[in-house]
Amino acid sequence: MTLPTPHQIIEPDGWPRPRGYANLVSARGRQLYLAGQIGWDAQQRLVGGDLVTQARQALANIVTLLAAAGARPEHVVRLTWFVTDRAQYLASGPALGAAYRAVMGKHYPAMSAVQVVALIEAGAVVEIEATAVVPD
């Protein structure tokens, strides 16, 4: 079941609808700023070496943090992805999209993706930051 977003997605007239993200999200409420999450479990062990597996775990970590604050995935208004391999990110599109929907549902906040040389944790290939707004 897809829940409607509690926020307003705004796209300028004449712009094509983005696929898998929003260009602009308007929100009011209690703001949550989540630290970057990597693909490790609660014992800080990386769950795999590939982008899709680690991204899925990083997103699951975000959902766990949101729940601890009484929030849900549809409260996320922005995600920033830091990936170590742009080519792998682009090649993994369908699998990454499926992993995203499995964890976050069909809620697509404003997103950015940036290639970085490396992440601080050895073996990590993706880190995802989140901002959420829980409506008043």
Q: What is the pLDDT of residues 85-125, one digit of tens each?
A: 999 999 999 999 999 999 999 999 999 999 999 999 999 99
CA-CA distance, 17 to 62, in Å (whole number)? 26
CA-CA distance, 73 to 76, in Å (whole number)? 6
Look up residue 2 and give its two tokens.
């897809």
- Which helix or strand (DSSP H or E) is residue 19 part of? none
CB 103 within 8 A of CB 63: yes
Look up residue 90 and give its two tokens.
């682009």
Above 80 in pLDDT, residue 6? no
The rounded radius of gyration (Å) of the Cα atoms in the chain is 15
In the CATH scheme, what is the homologous superfamily, with its name and number, of domain 22-134? RutC-like (3.30.1330.40)
Q: What is the pLDDT of residues 33-85, one digit of tens each?
A: 999 999 999 999 999 999 999 999 999 999 999 999 999 999 999 999 999 99
Share of the chain above pLDDT 70, in %: 96
